[in-house]
Amino acid sequence: MKLRVVVCLTLLCGFSSGYAGSGSTGLQDKTKEGLAAPVARSQEGSDSVAIDLEIWEVHGDEARALQEAGFRQFGGLLRAGGEGTKGGRKPKTAQELLQSLHEHSQLTGALVPKLTTRLGRAAGLRMGLGVTTTQLHYMVRTGEKSFELQSLPAEAVNSLGLTVDLTPRAVPNDPELITISPLKVTFGTVDGHEPVPGVELEIGKPIISTRELKTSVTLEAGDALGIVLPGPEGRQPILLITVHRVGKTQ
């Protein structure tokens, strides 16, 4: 089995506090199809943080893969990592979490440009994930043996993919910790097609589902956190987050 990076249909990043930064990961170096994040300006300065996000989907024996990788229920989330170095723990990297998942499943995913923002300021991104042109068109019966090709309206197409909105915040009296509150993830997918009488092929209008997760997490700078996101059957999305401090108030 191989870690495989798939190209997104769209990648649009916008921030209330700045722009997406550039970045390369070890994962990119190990795959022929690795994506190079676009180079852009970042909002660096006092109390700035850089946030690395990776979106992956687990295929195969998802339950076993998550269990073996150390995902456990915590605060209403199925998560792994993000425990910090207290008590002699060694911080986990996103690559280590991925390798653990890879042992019992197949992974497809998308690399996301590094976000740079300041503590207390919101940042966000929107990206198409695993959407193909065949999912944007469908057939409508116009007669006993005739069909007409139609396309999804713009509002339906815009609902597909992943949207992440987050705000990093300082933790009083502990500069090594950063709270992301709120962390809101919306995942729009094509879960199937409406049946067309007399036709066994899936050519009917796509059935779009939208799932949402809204929570808050606290993690140590440099320690990766994996969160299981709500997704359709057979497609288990995982969000990996790593936060680094860029600057501190003098």
60-108: pLDDT as tens digits? 888 888 888 888 888 778 888 876 666 556 667 888 888 888 888 888 8
85 within domain boundaries: yes
- Residue 82 maps to a domain: yes
Residue 181 in any domain: the answer is: yes
Q: Kindly state the DSSP code that residue 184 receives in the 8-state scheme.
A: E
**Are the C-beta atoms of residues 106 and 59 closer than 8 Å to each other?**
yes
Asked if residue 204 belongs to a domain, the reply is: no
**pLDDT score for 18:** 34
H/E stretch holding 166 = strand 161-170
Q: Are 245 and 221 in contact (CB under 8 A)?
A: yes
**pLDDT at residue number 75:** 76
pLDDT at 42: 42
pLDDT at position 24 is 33
Domain assignment present for residue 207? The answer is: no
Domain that holds residue 49: 3-129+163-188+213-245
Which pLDDT belongs to residue 168?
94
- Residues of the chain below pLDDT 70: 1-46, 83-91, 110-111, 113, 129-134, 234, 247-250
The pairing of strands 105-111 and 3-5 is parallel
pLDDT at 16: 34
Nearest Cα neighbor of 50 from 111, 4, 115, 103 is 115
> Would you say residue 105 lies in a domain?
yes
135 phi-psi bin (left φ>0, alpha ψ -120 to 50, beta other): alpha
**Predicted local distance difference test score (pLDDT) of residue 10:** 33
Q: What residues contact 178, with CB distance under 8 A and at least 6 apart?
A: 49, 119, 168, 169, 170, 171, 218, 219, 220, 221, 243, 245
134 falls within a domain: no
Specify if 101 maps to a domain.
yes
Count the domains in the chain: 1
Determine the Cα angle at 91 with ends 88 and 97, to 5°. Answer: 135
Q: Can you give the pLDDT at residue 85? A: 64
